[in-house]
A = this chain, B = another copy of it.
Amino acid sequence: MNLDTFFRADRIAVIGASREEGKVGNVVFKNFLEGFDKEVFPVNPNADEVLGYKCYKSVRDIPGKPELAIICIPAKFVPGAVIECGKKGIRHVIIISAGFKEVGNDRLEKDLFNALKKYDIKCIGPNCLGVYASRGHIDTLFLPKNRLKRPKAGVISFVSQSGASGSAILDLAAEEGFGFAKFISYGNAINVDESDLIEYLGNDADTKVICLYVEGVKDGRKFLETCKKVAAKKPVIAIKGGITDAGKKAALSHTGSLAGSAEVYFGAFKQAGVTIAHTLEEVFDYMKVFEKVQVRPKGRKIQVITNGGGFGILCSDAVAGLGLEMSEMSSAVKNSLKKKLPSIAAVGNPVDLLGDATTERYRLALDACIKDKNVDVIVAVVLSQTPLIEKEIITDVLEEFNNRKKKPIVTVTTGSEFSEKLKQEIEDSGLPCFRFPFNAVRAVKAYLEYYKKI
C-alpha cells in the first residue's frame, strides 16, 4: 500500500480548522502554517477566515484538488465530510476525531467505513493523533509544542497504537536527541492498519529503524508476514502492551484490543526477527544502538575499555550475565599495548586505562581493539569525573575510529552536567552513548541478535 501522500502532501484541507485557541482544529491548522511549504485550506462552515486564511464552507469549494484532508470535527459529522472529500477527489484522509467504536458507536464507524470504501479513500484513524513526518512537514499532533517537543529529522519511524503513550515516547525521544522520520498514531485503524504502516515503512528510504507499540492486531497472519518481510530488511523493535492478564484487562478497556497471548506474540516476533523490547526503556536503548551503529558485527566477542575499574567490572558482569562473549585479545596485540601503557594499567578484558587516563591512552587501546581479530564489538566506558578526560577524546579518538566503520563501538558515561554534555557530543559525533553499563551491553546484545538472524 503506497501511503506517501500521508507524509508528503503539499495541498492540504483542514476540516474543522478553528479560530478558537486550544481547539484541536486550531492547533492542527497552526502546525501547518508553521510548515513553510504547504498550501493549506481551512474548512469550516461557520467562519469566513481562520488565522488570516480564506475559509471554505466545504472541501468542494476549494479551488483545485487537495491531496490530503485532516478531519477534526465531531464524530457524527465525519462520514458526511468524508463523502464530500470523496466527491472532491481526495483519496487520503487523517481522522483525528474520536467517538466511534472505541466508545461503542459501532454503527457510526460502519458508516464511516462505507463512505471511505465508496470513494476508495485511505484513512489513518479515526480516534488518533495522526501523523508527524519530519521531512514532509506534516504534523497533525494536536498537543501543543511546549508540551510535546517534536524530534529532529532522522531515521527512526514509530508506529503507536496508543496516542498518549506514543506522544510521551515522541516527546522523550525529542529530548534525548533521537532523529525521527515518521511517527504514526493510527487509532481505530479503520482501513489502514499497523501491518500496512509497517510494510510502507519497510520500503521507505527515509526510515532505517522501525518501532512499534501494539496492544492487539487485527489480522495476526498479515502482521506476522509483514514483520517477517520487513525485519529481513531493517530492524523492527516492538513493545507489546498487555502481556499479562492484568495488562490484557487494561488493554481491553483502553483500545478494546484483544491483546492475545504474550507467548504467541513473542513467538511470532522471534520467528519474524523482530527485536522484542520488554519495557519502554529497552525501546529507547535499542532505538539508540540501531539508529547510530553503522557497521555490521562480524561476531559476538566483546571487548571492554574503561577508565573506572568498577564500571569495567559491571560491563563484564553484564556481558557474561546476558550470555555474550568476552573477547580475548591475541598476546601480540596485548603485549604491544602493554608496553605503551603505564605498568599498572590492566591489559586484559577489560582494558583499564586508570583514573588518570588520557585521550592518548584511549587511542592506543582502541587502535589495539580495532586491529585484533578476536574483538568484534567495543564497549568504551569514559567516566568524565577524572580530570584528564578532554573533549579531544571525542573528535580525535572515538569519532575517528567510529568513522573507519571497522567494528561497532558503543560508549558509556555517567554523571551530571559535564558528563551529559560529553554524552551529547559523543552522540552528535555518531556513536551511541549509554548512562549505565548494563543498558549498553543489553543494547549490544539486541544488535548482535538482529544481525545473527538476517
> Which positions in A face B, CB cutoff 8 Å?
22, 103, 143-144, 146-149, 160-169, 171-172, 174-175, 213, 215, 241-247, 249-251, 253-255, 278-281, 304, 307-314, 316-321, 326, 344, 346, 348-350, 352, 355, 383-387, 414-420, 435-439
Task: Please state if A242 and B313 are interface contacts (CB–CB under 8 Å).
Answer: yes
Specify which of B213, B309, B415 is in contact with A162 (CB 8 Å cutoff): B309
CA–CA, A349 to B253, complex, Å?
Answer: 10
Specify which of B245, B251, B309, B385 is in contact with A147 (CB 8 Å cutoff): B385
Chain B's closest residue to A418 (CB) is B147
Chain B's closest residue to A99 (CB) is B344
Task: Please state if A316 and B280 are interface contacts (CB–CB under 8 Å).
Answer: no
CA–CA, A103 to B279, complex, Å?
Answer: 43
Q: Which residues of B contact A316 (CB under 8 A)?
A: 244, 246-247, 249-250
> Can you name 25 A-B residue pairings with CB atoms under 8 Å?
A103-B344, A143-B385, A143-B386, A144-B387, A146-B418, A149-B417, A160-B310, A164-B383, A165-B308, A165-B310, A166-B310, A171-B414, A172-B435, A213-B310, A215-B313, A241-B313, A241-B317, A243-B321, A244-B320, A245-B320, A246-B316, A253-B352, A279-B318, A279-B437, A280-B414
Q: Which residues of B contact A304 (CB under 8 A)?
A: 250
Chain B's closest residue to A241 (CB) is B313
Task: Please state if B147 and A352 are interface contacts (CB–CB under 8 Å).
Answer: no
Q: Which residues of B contact A251 (CB under 8 A)?
A: 309, 313
Chain B's closest residue to A311 (CB) is B165
Task: Please state if B250 and A313 are interface contacts (CB–CB under 8 Å).
Answer: yes
Assuming A243-B321, A352-B253, A386-B164, is B172 touching A416 (CB within 8 A)?
yes
Task: Please state if A317 and B143 are interface contacts (CB–CB under 8 Å).
Answer: no
Task: Please state if A165 and B314 are interface contacts (CB–CB under 8 Å).
Answer: yes
Q: Which residues of B contact A254 (CB under 8 A)?
A: 309-310, 312-313, 346, 352
Q: Which residues of B contact A103 (CB under 8 A)?
A: 344
Task: Please state if A348 and B253 are interface contacts (CB–CB under 8 Å).
Answer: yes
Assuming A146-B418, A149-B416, A172-B414, is B280 touching A215 (CB within 8 A)?
no
Within the complex, the shortest CB–CB distance from A73 to chain B, in Å, comes to 17
Assuming A321-B244, A348-B253, is B162 touching A308 (CB within 8 A)?
yes
Q: Which residues of B contact A321 (CB under 8 A)?
A: 243-244
Assuming A165-B314, A438-B280, is B147 touching A387 (CB within 8 A)?
yes
CA–CA, A386 to B386, complex, Å?
Answer: 42
Specify which of B168, B242, B352, B418 is in contact with A415 (CB 8 Å cutoff): B168
Sorted from nearest, which 8 A-B pairs have the closest CB atoms? Answer: A165-B310, A164-B308, A162-B310, A254-B309, A244-B320, A175-B416, A247-B317, A171-B415
Chain B's closest residue to A149 (CB) is B416
Within the complex, the shortest CB–CB distance from A256 to chain B, in Å, comes to 10
Beyond A168-B415, A244-B319, A279-B314, 11 extra complex contacts between A and B, CB < 8 Å: A22-B387, A146-B418, A147-B386, A147-B415, A162-B310, A168-B308, A175-B417, A249-B348, A250-B316, A254-B346, A281-B439
CA–CA, A280 to B450, complex, Å?
Answer: 26
CA–CA, A383 to B163, complex, Å?
Answer: 11
Within the complex, the shortest CB–CB distance from A94 to chain B, in Å, comes to 17
- Most interface-central of A161, A309, A419 (chain B CB within 10 A): A309
CA–CA, A419 to B176, complex, Å?
Answer: 13
Task: Please state if B385 and A167 are interface contacts (CB–CB under 8 Å).
Answer: yes
CA–CA, A254 to B245, complex, Å?
Answer: 46
